[in-house]
Structure 1
Amino acid sequence: MLLPQEVIRAKRDGFVLSPDQIQYFVDGLSSGHFNDAQVGSMAMAIFQRGMQTQEIVELTKAMMHSGQVLSWPELDRPVVDKHSTGGVGDKVSFMLAAIVSACGAYVPMVSGRGLGHTGGTSDKLEAIKGFNVQPSISEFKSIVKELGMAIISQTDDLAPADKRLYGIRDVTATVESIPLITASILSKKLASGLDALVMDVKVGNGAMMHNIDDSVALAKSICNVANGAGVKTEAVITDMNQVLGFSAGNALEMIETVDYLTGKSRESRLHEVTVALAVPMLVNTKLATGKDDAISKVNKVLANGSAAELFSKMIARLGGPSNLLENPWASMSKANIIQDVKASKSGYISAMQTRDIGMAIVELGGGRLANGQAIDHSVGLDQILPVGTKVEAGDTIARLHASTEDKANVATAHLFKAIEIGDQTPNESPVIYQTIA
């Protein structure tokens, strides 16, 4: 019998769900026939019991077809996208979409909001006054055709079943499930009508996957399902054992994006990840003949300013200012309290508990503790020193942005615990671990 509690019971008890049961669950997500408690219970059952590959395929297809599925017959160049499993300070989508589009691809990027301790691409864009992350599908398609790129939030038209499940996973401790991550990502991406996809699968203490084996398993799951669906997909496993870039927090990451695209500053690890993802996006769409050609094209569009110009045009076209590159703070709010976090002793920054840093930003108001909660786009960290930096007692290791003195003090205490200073130079971690096709 198809009742919500019976489908939940079946997965709770470790049974393989039938296509009909999976479709019933997805229909219930869209219609509300599964209430929030039941959706949370189903997510937990999947989290604990897992899913076989065919179940993940069925869940992906059902969520993909829960709304509109895009196609791009009018476009004369390949359609490609990227998705990250999320981390702290991960603003790669912004520069990557602009770079790859400036190299000749169409990039219709449908992004998500923050999950748990990780920041959301859509939330970061909403730090910009006037920016509309949810245009109509027709407007989205028009902007992609006109500019070559657009970054929007998941709409009610694209995989609406996943949109509801995504929000409930965030507040029910079921984010790190490989079947749910795979189906969530691919239901949106396959509904976007892509020719190729590149996955940035994070690994480390600030990622959903803390160890390399789990990251490889997720990468293979995504590649198997997506390639099986006819979308050329490659996954790059990248490090998330420290904040990516100099900043973490919505407005602050948009500032770093502008600095990166305009050449004002480019943090080396952030640049390495961006280039590593751009290469398969260009090679797999035949816009580059190989790795060296792809890197040359990336460097060219950064150097000549065409990637920055394209990003600026997209911001303006979706309701933001026309002068974001020239004066980014004019359209974003600054925090009330800005104060330095100083090293308590001399030594080397030996490690970061990156998830704890992300949660400190959530507690500042920069993320959500409940589904649908409003966030403070101004709070976060910048001027973050990377692991391996030698510091003296009293040196600034990061700068904190908070709404109140009390919140600043609480966050500072958490940061002292999360950023470790030791006597020895730490072993250098790789930025890129491996690639899976």
Structure 2
Amino acid sequence: MWLPQEVIRRKRDGERLSGQDIGRFVAGIADGSISDAQVAAFAMAVLLKGMALEERVALTCAMRDSGQVLRWDLPGPVVDKHSTGGVGDLTSLVLAPLLAACGCYLPMISGRGLGHTGGTLDKLESIPGYQVEPGIERLRVVVAEVGCAIVGAGGGLAPADKRLYAIRDVTATVESVDLITASILAKKLAAGPDVLVMDVKTGNGAFMAQPGQARELADSIVAVAQGAGVRTQALVTDMSQPLARSAGNALEVLEAIELLGGQVRSQRLWDTTLALAGAVLELTGASVDEARSRLLSAWHNGTALQRFQAMVTALGGPPGLAAEPLRWLPQAPVQRPVWPAQGGTVTAIDTRAVGLAVVALGGGRCRPGDALDLSVGFSRLVFVGEAVGAERPLGWVHAASDSAADEAAHALRAAYRV
């Protein structure tokens, strides 16, 4: 007789679980036959005792298979990219249409903001009419016709992960590399990619603040994804300062459109996007030089921006967004510069504090289910090594009121070392 408590006991005692035991336990998470208490106990046992690679692969595949797994029959490679999150990280909004313009297909399953980090779905919801959960069949149509669709997982993909994550969130088991790996990959692999590139952030604005932590997670994700049959590479990238000049939902969409249109406001953002997109093309068989040439061509000739607009239109957004973004994106009523306390050169930025300031403005959630103000945040942020003073502010604050702008300006000054 199979008992979930015996699986928990064996993992508690440091034993290696069989693929069958893991599969049945995950099925119980998905169908509700295993209690919240048992799920929490399992998560804690995994956190404390860890999992071997074979167990991580089994857990990830079982969670992937707990719902619908997409299969594709398309004339080009099905690819994807995932970031562990940061501040001003809008790479997905640029990378997906770039790769689509290079002949790839991207059913990109994305998430919402978590803590101080921004969420791709929240950014896209600042576009009027954009459907972030269009359903599986609409996702298939848009990917086939446009080449890319950035959407949420919905209820059909990896439902076991949704329940397990909710329980981990309130039982101090979020930090387990084993469970983080399975959670990230279950949703990504359910979308059916042939190729996956992971962007693992490190620095004071990342969840994995120390490079050693980031490398451990990157190694785990690559090993498990490849064990599940997906060609995978991971890049560890810097999040010791905001990646874009903007931090906030509509503001980041605007910067993404400007970048796709040829305006490089943040060289770090563009370099990171090219590195990740290049890694995807290399995994599909392109050389380093060929990958870069194809990406730059799609950027220069405007086809990447056209793919972005086509994706927006196909998912319910306005057909004129790329041409007139300020006509469609929400704008905060209060917009003003944030002057530094003194002039000089920026030597460091508390990136997490910048992200939390956006949350405090209403651009992120303090509690699950909070409604967001999609117009607020910061723009024109300066980076480390750049000068500020009487003629150049730290950035511009976008707020719903003067008092909110005052508080955010104070928080931004405190986050910068000049």
Shorter-chain TM-score above 0.5: yes
SS in 1 for 2:122: helix
Instruction: Name the structure 1 match of 2:238.
Output: 239
Over the matched positions of the two proteins, sequence identity in percent amounts to 51
**Residue 360 of structure 2: which of 346, 359, 363 is its match?**
363
Alignment check: 8 A CA contact 1:80 1:107 kept: yes
Q: Distance in 2 between matches of 1:417 and 1:264?
A: 29
Instruction: Name the structure 2 match of 1:59.
Output: 59
TM-score (norm. length: structure 1): 0.88
Alignment check: 8 A CA contact 1:175 1:208 kept: no
Within 5 Å, give how 1:202-351 maps onto structure 2: 202-286=201-285, 288=286, 290-351=287-348
- Post-superposition Cα deviations, 1:41-92, rounded to whole Å, max 9, x if no partner, equal 655554454333223212211110111011113x121111111111111100
Q: Distance in 1 between matches of 2:322 and 2:188?
A: 29
Query: What are structure 1's unaligned runs of at least 5 residues?
Result: 422-437
**Residue 403 of structure 2: which of 384, 401, 406 is its match?**
406
Alignment check: 8 A CA contact 2:339 2:389 kept: no
- Post-superposition Cα deviations, 1:71-126, rounded to whole Å, max 9, x if no partner, equal 113x1211111111111111001111111110111111111111221111111111
Task: From the superposition, tell whether residues 410 and 102 of structure 1 become closer, same or farther in structure 2 (CA, over 3 Å).
Answer: same
TM-score (norm. length: structure 2): 0.92
Instruction: Name the structure 2 match of 1:187.
Output: 186
Q: Distance in 2 between matches of 1:175 and 1:252?
A: 30
SS in 2 for 1:233: strand
> Which piece of structure 1 moves more, 316-325 or 227-236?
227-236
Within 5 Å, give how 1:69-80 maps onto structure 2: 69-73=69-73, 75-80=74-79
SS in 2 for 1:272: helix
Within 5 Å, give how 1:2-81 maps onto structure 2: 16-19=16-19, 22-33=22-33, 43=43, 46-73=46-73, 75-81=74-80
SS in 2 for 1:396: coil
Instruction: Name the structure 2 match of 1:112.
Output: 111
Alignment check: 8 A CA contact 1:116 1:171 kept: no
Instruction: Name the structure 1 match of 2:131.
Output: 132
SS in 1 for 2:71: coil
Q: Distance in 2 between matches of 1:77 and 1:43?
A: 39
> Which piece of structure 1 moves more, 26-35 or 251-260?
26-35
> Which piece of structure 1 moves more, 52-61 or 123-132?
52-61
Alignment check: 8 A CA contact 1:242 1:387 kept: yes
Q: State the shift of 1:176 in Å.
A: 4.0
Alignment check: 8 A CA contact 2:204 2:240 kept: yes
Q: Distance in 1 between matches of 2:77 and 2:112?
A: 26
**Cα root mean square deviation, aligned:** 2.4
Count of residues paired in the alignment: 418
Task: From the superposition, tell whether residues 406 and 266 of structure 1 become closer, same or farther in structure 2 (CA, over 3 Å).
Answer: closer
Task: From the superposition, tell whether residues 306 and 341 of structure 1 become closer, same or farther in structure 2 (CA, over 3 Å).
Answer: same
**Residue 376 of structure 2: which of 339, 364, 379 is its match?**
379
Aligned partner letter, 2:27: D
